[in-house]
Chain A
Amino acid sequence: MALSIGRSTQDLSRRDLSRRRDLSAPWRHIDLVLVVATVALAAMGTLMVFSATKGSGDVADTTYLKRELLWMVVGLGAMAGVALFDYRRLLDWVWPIYGLSLLALVLVVSPLGQRSKGAQAWFGFGAFQLQPAEFAKLALIIALAALLSAYEGHVDLRRLGILLGVAGAPMLLIMLQPDLGMVLIFLAVLMVMLLVGGVRGRYLLALLLIGVVATFGVLNSSVLKQYQKDRLTAFINPANDTQGATYNVNQSQTAIGAGGVAGQGLFNGRQTQLRFVPEQQTDFIFTVVGEELGFVGASVVLGLYATILWRVWRAAALARDRFGQLLCAGVLAFFLFQVFENVGMAMGIMPVTGIPLPFLSYGGTSIVTSFIGVGLVLSVHMRRFR
């Protein structure tokens, strides 16, 4: 990939020199609204992670802040790089990328991977960790976009089978970790891309139906561990809570509610600073926003997400080809599901699953893949005329 980026910038500068007035030069069509919204969210995320991790001592703990900033820089760089790279060239790399992502998922459940919080989902590099499933998510978007654009809206059962197989392979590997939240993201991405990719309505309905039946089947079988089932159902049935999932959600809702309209002020959220909400720098980062910045701040954050989703949707609608449109739809599904599930969980209307909030939750891989997602969309958007 580094090679490709190098080449592309050379192309760009050469073209720039030769055709100064070319209005269709890709960088002239960059979606500034999307870039600004993304950077604004990333800045807010950095601040929130600092608030959640600085501790109550006189001297603030900046360990997390420094790492977060580093990841933000890496993420911004990745976003710029991906944006400048012509997305259509990805078509040449679809299967190597997909294959590599599967290999990484296999390796992570081997002894090479690291186990943390009940899931074998990380590769460790000193103080940093990489989560291959996050990259696999992007790989799946690219692979599905490639397949669906090639099918040009004609998806019969055999092709549907191929699509499901391509999506199912990484999902199965992730179940081995196990990381239920990640599997759910893959499912959301799959469904949205099938919808936009032109799969017939009745197939989609059938898949939805199978999904519902399968959910009940899984909940009543022994595929999931009891704690996973309880976590998933605790929001419907708080009395069944055995893992404190209700406790987490109660604390998180309380923190958000206590923020009120104006919030308790940055670094002043009592629930946050006294660490009543577990995982508040990762899965429950939205409670910090809600408690410290109040309805005003939380609305700004949700508004920024809405802006990003609007711009991604717009890029999908304007895309000059099916592949670009499907890439955007995949990224949209990834953001939409993660935001809705994560924020919904923090506010008690969605089940508890460990899904990061893009750009806000602390976690390097999640931040970088979110930036890459935006980068892909920018790339599609910039090249809508050529």
Chain B
Amino acid sequence: MESESPRLRLSILAIIVVSLFGALFARLWYLQVMAAPQFQDVAAANRERVIYEEAPRGRILDRNGRVIVDNRTSLVVTASPRQLDQSGHRNDVLLRLATALTDAGTPTKVATLERRLNDKQYSPLQPIPVAIDIPEALEIELAERAEDFPGVEVTRESVRAYPNGPLAAHVVGYVGRISEQELEARMGTKDNPKEADKPYQPDSDIGKAGVERTFEDDLRGQPGVRRIEIDAKGTPIRTIDYTPPRSGNDLQLTIDLDIQANAEATLSAQLDAIKGGVTREGTKTAQAGSLAAVDPRNGEVLAMASFPTYDPAEFVNGISTERYAQLTGGDAADNPFPNRAIAGEYAPGSTFKLVTAYGGLDRGLVTASSPFYDGGCLRVGDRDFCNAGKVAHGAVPMPRALTVSSDVYFYSLGQRFWNQRDEYGDGIQSAARGFGFGTATGVQLPGESAGIIPDPEYKRKLWEALPPDQQRKGDPNWYPGDNVNLAIGQGYVLATPLQLANAYATFVNHGQHHQPNIALRVLIPAGDPTDPRSVVKSFEPRVDHTVDLPDNVFEPVHEGLIGVASSREGTAYDAFRGFDLKSFPVFSKTGTAQVQGKADNALFVACGPDPSYRICVSAVLEQAGFGGEAAAPVVRRVLEPLAGQAQSDWKPGVVRGND
């Protein structure tokens, strides 16, 4: 070209071309070389969805392998919102479905179905359960009229089954929909997610009470994981990979179903029989009671009962708010959900005398043979502390004081412990702690209470916690009377039935204190408890300390408590009339704890057979009268089969007896 200008202009054009292509290559390099891994993650998240399938939970077995909690298949109607919409007849289909469900015995409104379908906890990719536990006839009907129900399907879901009904309800607990807090605790928050072996979804079930809760990690199955690929419209295209769900492990408990069934039947019959009886202090309401049985040799819990009780089957498809409110709304004593054997805190009454006696002998405050004159009452300060009915037992040595349950003897021990505290220390409190009172036993169950072993410091703290206007009426000081009350298990002292059984077990076990176990083994799914290859883990006995129990301490207490059932003077003599104590000697103690303005709580603890003990049982019947008349017959009946004795022709009700 003739002039330079066009050349220059073409050069400018070339520069523009080169720079623009440079920009494109730079961007391409960034996207595909530098940032490719991030974009690959984004792309995967784009098209991959994970659908979880809940696995069946492990079964719960008794110590002999009998099934307490099983699974059954529940027929669940699901509806897929996407297919409903695509069918173009969403409303018609839902109306037909509601009608079919109602005809099949599940009254259902279209609005209810819509509410389920719009529930945010479900992924729109997932078929949403709209009706649970439908009859098989409805499944057949829905299948036959499939064209009337596009997007509606019947699936099978594994739910809990209770072949023995509500038996051992408080031990096994129940399963329910995971709460937001539980989900967050296990899966973390959106911003701070946690890795979980067995991930939970917002609609997952989780153990809410009992061993279902404490052994959740064992019982829960490994959810199945289906990774699917979806297209831009969210339509599933294919399954990328699938890991089928794996059942949770079976849990074998230490519970013996025979003992458990006998205990529950007896306790409930006895409560019913006592209900309505009248005492000086008030009507025996006998609303609640509980029982705990442990094996003193290893701390295994053999039975645990609590009344009133509930039916865990009510939770299978989710309990309604109304029903739950109905169960929990009334008198606290009627609330069926607390496991009173571990959560109920009771004044132990005379059953606590084991501890006081031990403390006195151990510290050398008394000897077995030194008698004390029981004139029916003991004056402490300006107050008389008397035996029940002011009965005077005369000169009583330690064993007899236990057999007849002389309050005065133990009042005096308590008084002397206080008066000579510089020399003998806090013998009662430290003995109590040695036997496991004042601390939760550590059994693998949720909601256990620690009980209370009071001392001067405890009383002061209690007073300090009071609002000022009530402080004026109260008193922060510990008096001899407080010690006297403590000596017979009254006043501030509180214990759970399991603590009582375990304390007696510690004694008959010559001081070896176990943390009780409720579980024996974890087994592979459908495992055989007798086959070692089935065992995932075993729970060994847990000895946490040993109480020093030399013969000079053991013998007098032993003699006294063997006499409770066997001696004519014993407070449980009548309750054990006809029981073959020769073949199955019973070491026991009655207790009657006063409750302000109400009928007494009846308590009884027994271990047998002496000297090779296999079981310790404690029973507490709220507002049921004397321990010897109301609680002892229950424990006797629980022991009968273990003693190899035919069940007596027993009629529930009180026997003659006291304390």
Contacts and interface: CB of A to CB of B under 8 A. Distances in A.
B646 interface: no
A189 interface: no
B45 to A, nearest CB: 9
A332 B35 contact: no
A148 B452 CA distance: 105
B5 A275 contact: no
Interface in B1-59: 1, 3, 5-7, 9-10, 12-14, 16-17, 20-21, 23-25, 27-29, 31-33, 35-36, 38-40, 42-43, 46-47
Best-buried of B24, B36, B232 by chain A (most CB within 10 Å):
B24
A325 to B, nearest CB: 7
Interface stretch (A40-48, A96-104, A110-118, A298-306): A298-306
A256 B39 CA distance: 8
B6 A306 contact: no
B325 interface: no
29 contacts: A56-B231, A153-B6, A195-B12, A196-B9, A196-B10, A196-B13, A198-B9, A251-B46, A251-B232, A254-B43, A256-B31, A256-B39, A257-B31, A257-B36, A257-B38, A257-B40, A257-B43, A259-B36, A260-B36, A274-B47, A276-B231, A298-B28, A302-B24, A322-B1, A336-B17, A336-B20, A340-B23, A343-B24, A344-B23
Contact of A274 (B7, B20, B231): B231
Contact of A276 (B1, B9, B16, B47): B47
Given A257-B40, A276-B232, A336-B20, A299 B28 contact: yes
B32 A295 contact: yes
B24 A316 contact: no
Nearest to A253: B31
Nearest to B3: A153
Contacts of B43: 254-255, 257-258, 270-271
Contacts of B28: 256, 290, 295, 298-299, 302, 347
Contacts of B440: none
Contact of A313 (B3, B17, B33): B17
Contact of A317 (B10, B230, B232, B237): B10
Interface string A249-275: 001011111111100000000110011
A294 interface: yes
Contact of A302 (B25, B42, B231): B25
A261 B38 CA distance: 13
Nearest to A349: B27
3 cross-chain pairs, A with B, having the tightest CB-CB distances, nearest first: A257-B39, A258-B43, A295-B32
B374 interface: no
Contacts, number: 128
A195 B31 contact: no
A170 to B, nearest CB: 23
A349 to B, nearest CB: 5
A261 B232 contact: no
Nearest to A271: B43
B23 A349 contact: yes
B231 A275 contact: yes
Given A254-B46, A344-B27, A270 B229 contact: yes
B31 A347 contact: yes
Contact of B229 (A256, A257, A274, A306): A274
Given A259-B36, A260-B40, A332 B232 contact: no
A329 interface: yes
Given A290-B31, A313-B13, A329-B13, A274 B237 contact: yes
Nearest to A305: B21
A298 B24 CA distance: 10
Nearest to A255: B43
A271 B28 CA distance: 17
A258 B45 CA distance: 12
Interface in B178-203: none
A256 B34 CA distance: 12
